[in-house]
Amino acid sequence: MKAKINNANFPTDAEGRVYHISTKRGEIANRIITAGDPVRIRRFAKFLDETPIPFECVSARGFTTITGRYKGVPVSLIAIGMGYPMMDFLVREARHIVDGDMAIIRFGSCGSIKSSIPVGSIGVPKNCMAITSSYDHFEDPSVPAYHFSKPIPADPNLHGALLSALAATDCQAHDIPLHASGDSFYGAQGRIDSSFADDNLTLLDDLSRQFPDLCSLEMETTHLFHLARLATPSSTQGTIHAAAAHMIFASRSSPSDTSDPASAEKAAEQEQTFIDPETVAKLEPAVGRACLDALVGFEIPMEKLHPETEESTVWRL
């Protein structure tokens, strides 16, 4: 930490830079694409307009922000890493320094639990739910090991814009009725690891039985939708609109042998498939452009945009 922090409740420095993403007013636009991988964000940055020269900030906490214009419209591309906390830092801290409405599209990866949604296709979730680990279960087995939340909807207009943009590509896109975000990559997503007593041998089966529409799993999107729903408009801060597109990286069917963790782990290794690098290299630019097209085509009234008149605004022409 190099700068003095002024506020323990919502930490900022003397310049107004927020603590984790290290940006200040005028460095993040109202329209945002977020991904976990900074390399993916840098690839998308090649699609931005040459003028103005895109602004870049890499924080000490692992966030990469690139802000410029795409087809003349201000946009920010932000890599956050993985998990609920990183999404929480992004949405709350960006909200703190951006006036007006915000539109956020997450472009990430996930696993599919439906054979009809294969590896190499794209899922666009209409609703998301959370899978959270119950620490109490591991002291008291009568408590369920995992808690399943009620579904949280995407913004219907941004969701529709994303599906329309993807329909113009060669990608196989699916309108996903229900997606889930786990609070971990392994235990809460039903991955079998015999080194730990996660008590998740039947988790995928339990999810499929209780939520027949559930199609896919990852770790961030539900929290994005949750925060968009919680956002409270004020005189300067407006609505947060959220949607997501996920590349299907893995097939996540339940292992055929769940007699014990070691057998289930071996069965899962043999039965579950993962995407190849060549397919990712083909999908990323096509889906990235579709996300950008959906984002800049999503209407935000002029009076609900962050002011370009501020001297610090990096997308000023």
**CA pair distance 258, 179, nearest whole angstrom:** 24
DSSP string, 158-201: HHHHHHHHHHTSSS-EEEESEEEEESSSSGGGT---TTS----T
What average pLDDT does the chain have? 94
**CA pair distance 210, 189, nearest whole angstrom:** 15
State the pTM of this model.
0.94
Give the closest residue to 246 by CA, choosing from 107, 112, 118: 107
**CA pair distance 103, 313, nearest whole angstrom:** 18
Burial level of 232, CB count in 10 A (0-12/13-18/19+)? exposed
What mean pLDDT is predicted for residues 26-47? 97
- C-beta of residue 256 within 8 angstroms of C-beta of residue 15: no
Phi, psi dihedral angles at 110 (to 5 degrees): -155, 175
Q: Which of 9-23, 24-38, 270-284 has the lowest mean pLDDT?
A: 270-284
Give whole-number Cα distances, 48 to 24, 160, 166, 198, 277, in Å.
Answer: 21, 23, 19, 44, 24
- pLDDT tens-digit series, residues 226-265: 999 999 999 889 999 999 999 999 998 765 656 677 766 6
- pLDDT tens-digit series, residues 287-315: 999 999 999 999 999 999 999 888 889 99
What tokens appear for 178 in the block?
């229900």
What tokens appear for 251 in the block?
């097939």
pLDDT at 2: 67
pLDDT at 257: 55
Q: Does residue 207 carry a pLDDT above 70? A: yes
Give whole-number Cα distances, 38 to 33, 66, 115, 311, in Å.
Answer: 12, 10, 30, 28
